[in-house]
Amino acid sequence: MNRIRISAIAAIAAGAAAIHAASIRPAYTQGNPDLVVLIAVDQFSAALFDQWRGRFKSGLKRLMDEGTVYSNAYQSHGLTETCAGHSTMLTGKHPRGTGIVANEWFDTKAGDQV
């Protein structure tokens, strides 16, 4: 079970890094993909991904072999909360552009923390 969890975390980190890095590189001349998969794992470094790379099998190995992995990618916004970061990876926009600026916020109309 632990190996599966570590492998899943590694694949998620690679996907997250790939999505962001792809947004800062020129687009390929190929057509639009039929499917885009974003896998994100908070606090999973490229070093850990590389450490477990040789142990990937089946689906994770296929993602590695046939997908694109950017091991030196970053997000250019300063807010590192989960919701804002994931919205940035999915859209390529900064948090202010996605409307998801934090994990929680204060709703002034309702007077509640959301």
Quick check: is 82 catalytic? Answer: yes
23 and 64 in a single domain? The answer is yes
Q: In this model, does residue 21 exceed pLDDT 60?
A: no
68 and 82 in a single domain? The answer is no
The one catalytic residue in 29, 82, 88, 98 is: 82
Q: What percent of the chain has pLDDT over 70?
A: 73
Strand partners, 112: 107
Q: What is the per-residue DSSP string for 24-84?
A: TSPPPSS---S-------TT--HHHHHHHGGG--HHHHHHHHHS---TT----SS---HHH
Binning pLDDT at 50, 70 and 90, where does residue 34 land?
A: confident
70 and 89 in a single domain? The answer is no
Q: In this model, does residue 47 exceed pLDDT 80?
A: yes
Domain carrying residue 105: 78-114
Q: How many domains does the chain have?
A: 2
67 and 101 in a single domain? The answer is no
